[in-house]
Structure 1
Amino acid sequence: MITLHSLDQSRALRIVWLLEILGTPYRLQTYRRHPDTLLAPDELKAIHPLGKSPLLDDDGFILAESGAITDYLIQTYGNGRLMPERSSREYWQYQRWLHYAEGSLMPLLLLGLVFRRIESAPMPFFVKPIARKISGSVKSSFIHPQAALHLSHVDSELENREWLVGNSLSGADIMMSYPLQAAADRFDFADYPNIRAYLQRIEAHKAYRRAVEKAGSPLLKLDQ
């Protein structure tokens, strides 16, 4: 039986959503973040040396990394669903989105999160203005322009289409859901109507709603 080790308020929700779509029996083991560092607890290191989430345990086969887990579950339990034919060019567009989600879009969002944490971190009063100035400079000169570039690209790809690849939901949409939700939580999406509509479709999906009921919202609450 599959066990999914899932950190609360994290991208692991995507795998819960995928499992709900597939209808594959699974057990969900949820872990709480450290209240100060927001990192995963040490218990996860007993399962995988890096102690990261999500972690998939399929009858003793341990797999880390969201993209690899998504690919594995679809190819093992999907019965041809949620991915294009391997012989098609759409398959390689599908692979592009699987890698783009974590390889290009998420690092940018994580960098923004790091600087957001720096601005709110406890520090001597005379250091805070300097830290905020450096953080503001990085955000205005790099993070925000790059975010606009990436979001404009995704928005244009969604022009006149419901899903990223082909005419139906695929693993590409599952992987892209979290970074786009995180971006929508941090940036003004007024200029990205196609992404807004896309996220509404995702969040209205029945299996997604079941996943949220079981695992909670994926978005990190920094005010806790």
Structure 2
Amino acid sequence: MLTIHHLRISQSERIVWLCEELGVEYDLKLYNRDSETRLAPPELKALHPMEIAPVITDGDLVLGESGAIMDYIVGKYAPGTDLVPGADNPDFARHLYWYHFANATLMTNGMMSIAVNAVGAQMPPPLAKRITNAWAHIEKALGEAKYFGGANFTSADIMLGFSLTTARAFSDMSIEGMPNLQAYLQRIGARPAYQAAMAKAEPGFPPKLD
């Protein structure tokens, strides 16, 4: 049985959302953060050497890393799904770009901000510009297509979702003046699978959609 080990208020919400979109059956185990460190509790850390979420177990398999987990679930449980455009799809390259942008750029920017703030430092101008560029890039892209993967909703949208929603609840990042992103998040929030995923993964925590 596929089991998603979800650390509350973390990027592992992506995996719950993916399974809801695909209609894949799964068991969900929720873990609360340590009240002092705000990190994963010992029982979640014991699952994987990196001691972070997301983690899934599937029989004897223990797998971490959002991208690897999403590719595994799609490949094993939903091959050929429309959530992943094929090479003959005109949106193939666009989907790939944003699917990888999510962790390679946007999550990296977020972690840099957390690290700088943690030591009470000022963000160096080159890094601040990198963050500004990323959000401007997002706003422009959503003015060109309805979804990050192009005309249709894809797993790129799921991969980006955490940084655009839940992560902003714990920062001063505002999306005021980003009408394309604001409209996009309303579309995402209206999806039944997203609503179901957030109700299961984050009970009592309203999605950050504005």
Q: 1:219 to 1:145 in 2, by over 3 A?
A: farther
Structure 1: 5+ residue stretches without partners:
119-130
SS at match of 1:4: strand
Match of 1:148 among 111, 120, 132: 132
1:74-99 CA distances to partner (integer Å, 9 max, x unpaired)? 22222422011134463333222222
Residues 9 and 218 of structure 1 are in contact (CA less than 8 Å); yes or no, is this contact kept in structure 2? no
The equivalent of 1:84 in structure 2 is 85
Q: Using structure 2 for the length normalisation, give the TM-score.
A: 0.87
2:4 is aligned with 1:20: no
Of 192, 205, 209, 2:191 maps to: 205
- For 1:118-157, list aligned pairs within 5 A: 118=119, 131=120, 135=121, 137-138=122-123, 141-157=125-141
Report the equivalent of 1:9: 9
Q: 1:55 Cα deviation (Å)?
A: 0.6
Deviations 1:119-150 (A, max 9, x none): xxxxxxxxxxxx4xxx2x326x3454322211
Between the aligned partners of 1:166 and 1:195, the Cα distance in structure 2 is 14
Q: CA RMSD in A?
A: 2.2
Alignment of 1:70-219 (within 5 A): 70-81=70-81, 82-88=83-89, 90-118=91-119, 131=120, 135=121, 137-138=122-123, 141-181=125-165, 182-183=167-168, 186-216=172-202, 217=205
Structure 1 residues 218 and 53 mapped into 2: Cα distance closer, same or farther (>3 Å)?
Answer: farther
In 2, Cα distance between equivalents of 1:154 and 1:15: 22
Aligned length: 203
**Which structure ranks higher in relative contact order (CA pairs < 8 Å, sequence separation ≥ 6)?**
1
Distance in structure 2 (CA, Å) of the matches to 1:20 and 1:116: 35
Q: Could you tell me the TM-score, scaled by structure 1's length?
A: 0.82
Structure 2 runs not aligned, ≥5 long:
none
Larger Rg: 1
Identity among equivalent positions (%) equals 35
Residue 52 of structure 2: aligned partner: 52
